[in-house]
Amino acid sequence: MQALANVIQDTTSWDKSRTLDSLPGFLEKFSGNSTKLWSASKKNGAPHTIIVTAAGLRAAEIARFLTKIPSFESKF
């Protein structure tokens, strides 16, 4: 997998806790366009957010949490 340097964002300005409860606010702050953030891309293979974790279990926990958000229409 390759990612261009300009698509990786500096999130060090986030001053709240980095927990699942604050994840929606975190994503909205750094997304640039929160309207597109909570809807699925019409084009397959064009994610608007990629979350990288060191453990598969943590990735599954984040995915389960995001699907509980009513306005989150994206597919996994």
In a domain, 5, yes or no: no
* Overall number of domains in the chain: 1
Mean pLDDT, rounded, of the chain: 79
In a domain, 58, yes or no: yes
With respect to residue 9, please indicate whether it lies within any of the assigned structural domains. no
Q: Which domain holds residue 61?
A: 16-67
The answer on pLDDT for 72 being more than 60 is: no
Side chain identity, residue 6? N
User: Does the pTM of the predicted model rise above 0.95?
Assistant: no
Residue whose C-alpha is closest to residue 50's, from 70, 29, 31, 72? 31
Question: Could you tell me if residue 3 is inside a domain?
Answer: no
**What pLDDT is recorded for position 13?**
92
Token pair 């979350």 is found at 51
Q: Does residue 4 sit within a domain?
A: no
Residue 75 lies in a domain: no
pLDDT above 70 as % of the chain: 82
pLDDT in tens, 45-68: 777 777 888 999 998 999 888 877
The pLDDT of residue 50 is 79
